[in-house]
Structure 1
Amino acid sequence: MKLNLRGIDLNLLPVFDAIMEAGQLSRAADALGMSQPAISAALQRLRHCLADELFVRTRQGMEPTPRARELHEQLAPQLAALRDTLDPGNRFDPASSDRHFRLVSVDYFEMVMLPPLLAQVRKQAPGVVVEVITATDAMSEDLQKVRSDLAIDAFIPEDPRLNRMVLLEEELVVVARAGHPCLRGHCSKEQFLSEEHVVLPDRNRRLPLDQILDTPGWQRRTGARVTQFAGMLATVAGTDMIATVPRRLALHYAHAMQLQVLAFPVPLPPVPIYLLWSPALDKDPAHRWLREQLVSTAAVL
Structure 2
Amino acid sequence: MNSTELPDLKLLQLFDLLYDVRSVTRVAEQLGQSQPTISIWLGRLREHLKDPLFIRTPGGMAPTPQADALIGPCREILESLRRFAAWEIAFDPATAKRRFRICMSDASHITLLPRMLAHVRAQAPGVRLEATRIDGNTERALESGEADLVIGHVPWLGGGIYQQQLYTQDWVCLANRRHPRLGAKLGLKHYRTEGHVAITAGTGAQLLEQALVREHIDRDVVLELPGFLGLGAIIKSTDLIATLPRHIGETLAKVNDLAVHPCPVPVDGFAVRQHWHARYHHEAGNRWLRGLMVQLFGASD
What TM-score range do you get, normalising by the shorter chain? 0.5 to 0.7
Q: Deviations over 1:39-85 (max 9, x none)?
A: xxxxxxxxxxxxxxxxxxxxxxxxxxxxxxxxxxxxxxxxxxxxxx9
Separation in structure 2 between the aligned mates of residue 156 and residue 253 of structure 1, nearest angstrom: 25
Shift of 1:294: 0.6
Give the Å deviation of 1:193: 1.4
Extract unaligned runs of 5+ from structure 1: 1-84
Q: For 2:173, what is the secondary structure of its paired residue?
A: strand
- Give the gaps of 5 or more residues in structure 2: 1-83
Name the SS for the 2:285 alignment partner: helix
1:155, distance to aligned residue in structure 2 (A): 2.6
Match of 1:200 in 2: 199
User: In the aligned structure 2, how far is the partner of 1:215 from the partner of 1:243?
Assistant: 19
Partner of 1:118: 117
Report 1:22-33 matches (<5 A). Answer: none
Q: Hey, what's the Cα distance between the residues in 2 that align with 1:124 and 1:204?
A: 31
Question: CA contact under 8 A between 1:105 and 1:133: conserved in structure 2?
Answer: yes
The offset of 1:267, in angstroms, is 4.3
- Look up the equivalent residue of 1:295 and give its one-letter code: V
Aligned equivalents of 2:224 and 2:161: distance in 1? 31
Return the offset for 1:204: 8.4
**Cα drift, residue 158 of structure 1:** 4.2
Q: TM-score, normalised by structure 2?
A: 0.66
Whole-angstrom distance in 2 between the partners of 1:263 and 1:205: 17
Contact 2:153–2:204 (Cα < 8 Å) also in 1: no
Structure 1 residue aligned with 2:57: none
Contact 1:105 1:135 in 2 (8 A): yes
1:101 CA drift (Å): 0.3
**Structure 2 partner of 1:291:** 290
Return the offset for 1:232.
2.5
Any residues of structure 2 matched to 1:88-103 within 5 Å, and which?
88-103=87-102
Q: What is the RMSD computed on CA atoms of the aligned residues?
A: 2.4
The DSSP-based 3-state class of the residue aligned with 1:229 is: coil
1:218 counterpart = 2:217: yes
Deviation at 1:97, TM superposition (A): 0.2
CA offset digits 1:174-197 (Å, max 9, x no partner): 001111112222111111111222
Number of matched residues? 217
Whichever of the two has the greater Rg, that structure is 2
Question: What is the match of residue 134 of structure 2?
Answer: 135
Q: Is the 8 A contact 2:202 2:227 kept in 1?
A: no
- Structure 1 contact 95–124 (Cα < 8 Å) conserved: yes
1:36 alignment counterpart: none
Deviation at 1:250, TM superposition (A): 2.3
Separation in 1, partners of 2:213, 2:86: 53
Is the 2:201–2:227 Cα contact (8 Å) retained in structure 1? no
Residues 204/135 of structure 1: CA separation in 2 closer, same or farther (3 Å cut) = closer
**Shift of residue 206, structure 1, vs aligned partner:** 6.8
> 1: CA distance between counterparts of 2:137 and 2:86?
31
Code of the residue aligned with 1:182 in structure 2: it is R
Cα distance 1:211–1:297, how it changes in 2: closer, same or farther (>3 A)? same
- Report the more deviating stretch, 101-110 or 178-187: 178-187
Distance 2:237 2:123 in 1: 40
2:104 corresponding residue in structure 1: 105
How far off is 1:234 after superposition? 2.5
1:230 maps onto 2:229 in alignment: yes
TM-score by length of 1: 0.66
SS at match of 1:287: helix
Secondary structure of 1:218's partner?
A: coil
The structural deviation recorded for 1:123 is: 2.5
Name the counterpart of 2:51: none
**Match runs of 1:252-263 below 5 Å:** 252-263=251-262
Aligned structure 1 segments of 4 or more residues deviating by more than 3 angstroms: 85-89, 202-208, 266-269
Tell me the distance in 1 between the aligned counterparts of 2:112 and 2:203.
25
| Shift, 1:92, TM fit | 0.9
Letter in structure 2 aligned against 1:191: H
C-alpha displacement at 1:148, in angstroms?
A: 0.9
Q: Is the 8 A contact 2:175 2:241 kept in 1?
A: yes
Change (3 A) 1:95 1:181: same
Question: In structure 1, what residue type is equivalent to 2:295?
Answer: S
Give yes or no for contact 1:199–1:232 (8 Å, CA) kept in 2: no
CA contact 1:107–1:228 (8 Å) conserved in 2: yes
In 2 relative to 1, CA 183–155 (structure 1 residues): closer, same or farther, beyond 3 Å? farther
Maintained 8 Å contact 1:163/1:276: yes
User: Are positions 1:185 and 2:184 aligned together?
Assistant: yes
Cα distance in 1 for partners of 2:138, 2:208 equals 23
User: Mapping of 1:29-40 within 5 angstroms?
Assistant: none
